[in-house]
Amino acid sequence: MIIVMKPESVESQIQEISKKLQSLGLGVHISKGTQRTIIGVIGDKKALCGIPIELMPGVEKIVPIMESYKLAGKTFKPEPSIIDVNGVKIGGKELTIMAGPCSVESRAQIMEAALAIKKSGAQFLRGGAFKPRTSPYSFQGLEGEGIQLLKEAKEATGLQIISEITSEYLVEKFIDTIDMFQIGARNVQNFQLLREVGRSKKPVLFKRGPATTMDEWLNAAEYIMNEGNYNVVLCERGIRTFETATRNTLDISAVPVIKALSHLPIIVDPSHAAGKAQYIASLSRASIAAGADGLIIEVHPNPMQALSDAAQQITPPQFDCLCKDISKIAEILGREFQYGS
């Protein structure tokens, strides 16, 4: 449930209610909007039985949350969340672009990619070090060496690092190296991993599974947020349908639907949705036009030589042209994207 405070309520009243809730063993999340303050109550509401919270000074009303996802929903926090990753804000007016190769393959490869995407305006360098693959015989990534190469590329460019982690023990191991953890589609309901990431308080890019409904996706995000980590960014990356022309089917409707249901930012991964480089620019433009807060795009200096997902990676020149288009669309929509370094 949430406690809606009166517009004229003061800080001392908010703190008094918070202390009362905490004394009952309940968690508290305070959301201060432009008009009023909302106090989210986290935990077993039975603890409030017989406690007249609605009569406490400053309280306007108590509203039950009907959705199964409590923390991720707009009832809990009506205003959009902005996730800050070392000064880069996701979900605000400025669009966020994450780019880089599917897999970190070598120092030369990741450095060339990082320098190129930085020049075009990207704020994040993506690169897979741990690669969960369909076949156990496919390239599985450079693992710890790959993370070290990402770190070197960050030091050279100033880009933030985003990389996928695939198990709980990797959270603590790389918490000080990776700026934003990525939870891939295969782990969307790996609840133990989600809890561990939640306890880390590290910003998380949380991808939708190929057959995950909106409710299932938001409920899975709840596992992260229930551990006290509200730094979650959702990522639509295509769902599995009967269509075979693309790797997956990009669900553009996920952008406005999530915007209606949740306060969390949402970005789009057109690379995994399309599976083919020729469609990435169109899907990227459509995603921004639909209201996405950013994109995560696979960019490789030489896709023909890529060790994984070669068909869906675009070249730095192609990425540069796309960034020019994004800057124009952003201006039309009243958003911002700074093309070029």
**Spatial CB neighbours of 107, under 8 Å, sequence gap ≥ 6:** 149, 152
CA pseudo-torsion sign 7, 9, 15, 18:
negative
pLDDT of residue 100: 97
- Cα separations (Å) of 243 from 63, 249, 255, 274? 43, 7, 21, 11
Q: What is the pLDDT of residue 230?
A: 95
Q: From CA 188, how far away is CA 144, in angstroms rounded?
A: 23
Instruction: State the DSSP H helix or E strand holding residue 116, giving kind and residue range, or none if neither.
Output: helix 107-120
pLDDT at 130: 84
Exposed e or buried b for every residue in 175-209, given b needs 16+ CB within 10 A? eeebbbbbbbbebbebeebbbbbbebebbbbbbbb
- Tokens describing residue 331: 């201006």
pLDDT at position 42 is 84
Q: Do domains 2-63 and 83-333 have the same CATH topology?
A: no
Question: So what's the pLDDT on residue 341?
Answer: 63
Q: Contact 205/180 with Cβ under 8 angstroms?
A: yes
CATH class of domain segment(s) 2-63: alpha beta
**97-125 pLDDT tens trace:** 999 999 999 999 999 999 999 999 999 99
Decide: 97 and 124 in contact? Cβ < 8 Å: yes
Q: Is the four-CA dihedral 108, 114, 117, 120 of positive or negative sign?
A: negative
Residue spans of the chain under pLDDT 70? 132-133, 137, 139-140, 341
Environment class of 40 (CB within 10 Å of its CB; exposed 0-12, middle 13-18, buried 19+)? buried
pLDDT for 65 = 83
**Side chain identity, residue 170:** L
At residue 68, the pLDDT reads: 86
pLDDT of residue 120: 97
For the chain, give every domain's residue range.
2-63, 83-333
Q: Which residues, in sequence order, are bridge partners of residue 59?
A: 5
CATH superfamily of 83-333: Aldolase class I (3.20.20.70)
